[in-house]
Every structure is written in structure tokens, then in C-alpha cells.
Amino acid sequence: MRRTRVAAAGVLLVCGLLVLAITSASHPAPASAAAAAPTVTTGSPSSVGQSSATASGTVNPNGQSTSYYFKYGTTTSYGLQTTPAGAGSGTGTVAVHQTLDGLTPNTTYHYQLVATSSAGTTTCTGQLTMSHNGTTIAQRGYSIAPDSGGFQNMELNSTGQNELKSNGVFHLLAVTVTAAQTGGQTSSWVIHLARWVWH
């Protein structure tokens, strides 16, 4: 029996990723009648030196006693974090920053601002769209906890499945993935999808 698989694609999202001096992202909390988790916006770095940099951002405690810290490292797995600090319990945004020390010169670092309170931890939400030649072939909303790894499965719509079917076996179909974070940054990148056949 011969079958062709064309069902879905996986996309790795990095919630709150900020590459030093390049991009930033924000992480609104989901709206609810109960106390809301804090919201954060990761800002641009400053005072970038040979072995240190200042990570910055804003935190809205949403009325709950809130602490924050920055995760950072040479990959999106981070591996290091700053000492937690207080952001208060107000309902407005508070500018925050911490110094990242012991950095290796001429190395790209990634960092993410995380805030937590009794109401929860910052969550990244938004819309994920996959398109080929300007036509949407997959779309879904997402909600990602900061330590979840951010992997999202997407099922191709019928147009996407037909595009992939018409692509030769073991050939790659270039698609544009766009992640639009709620109230924040929109990022796009190109990935390549393959179809495969087994007997």
C-alpha cells in the first residue's frame, strides 16, 4: 500500500526572545475576570561591552506583588538567569533592567524577560500564519508559557496540502511563517516543508 503524508508542520516559537541589539518582543497576559498575570515587554539592550550588557524591559504587575528576572544565554535554551528582583504591585508599567555579566566577547546572546506573581507567569499569545506565494496554507492562535519550549504543530489547510502534494517527493516547499504576538512584535522567517512517501 502506498501512502503520502502531507498533514502538518511544526514551528519552533521562542517566546520573549531578544537577540542583543536586534529584536524585541512583548508578552501580554490572557484577559480574565480573575487576577491577571503580569505583562512584560522585553526591551533593547544598552551599555553593551566586551563582557557585559544591560537587559531592559517593562513589567506591569497588574495589581499583584510581582518579581522579574532575565533568562539569557548563547542559545534560545538560555541556561543562565539573573537574580529575581521586585517590580512592585501597581497597575501601570514599570521600567526594569539588570546587568548581564561574564559574557564572552564577540558572541551573540539571547535574553527573555520573565515576570511572575501569585496570579501566574507571563504568557506569550498571538497568531501564527504559514503562507506560500502570498496564500495562507495554515493558521492558528497560540499561547506559550515561557518555559514550554514553544513548539507549535500546525495543520495545513486543503490549499497547503495541495501545494505540498504538487511538490516533488523529497523536494522542499518554501513557506513564510509569521508570528504576530498579541500587542507586540511580528516576526517572519522562511522554512522548507517536505513531503514523503512510504510503502
More confident residue, 32 or 154: 154
pLDDT digits (tens, 9 = 90+) for 82-134: 999 999 999 998 999 999 999 988 888 888 888 899 888 876 667 888 898 99
pLDDT digits (tens, 9 = 90+) for 147-179: 555 556 778 888 888 888 777 666 788 888 887
Query: Where exactly does CATH 2.60.40 map onto the chain?
Result: 3-12+125-198, 18-123
Is 0.85 topped by the overall pTM?
A: no
Give the architecture (CATH level 2) of 3-12+125-198.
Sandwich (2.60)
The whole-angstrom separation of Cα 197 and Cα 164 is 12
123 neighbors 29 (Cβ within 8 angstroms) = yes
Please list the helix, strand and coil fractions of the chain in percent, rounded to the nearest 5, in that order: 5, 50, 45
13 neighbors 187 (Cβ within 8 angstroms) = no
The whole-angstrom separation of Cα 47 and Cα 45 is 7
For 18, 115, 122, the CA distances from 64, given in Å and listed in that order, are 26, 11, 13
Pick the CATH number of 18-123 from 1.10.3470, 3.20.20, 1.25.40, 2.60.40: 2.60.40
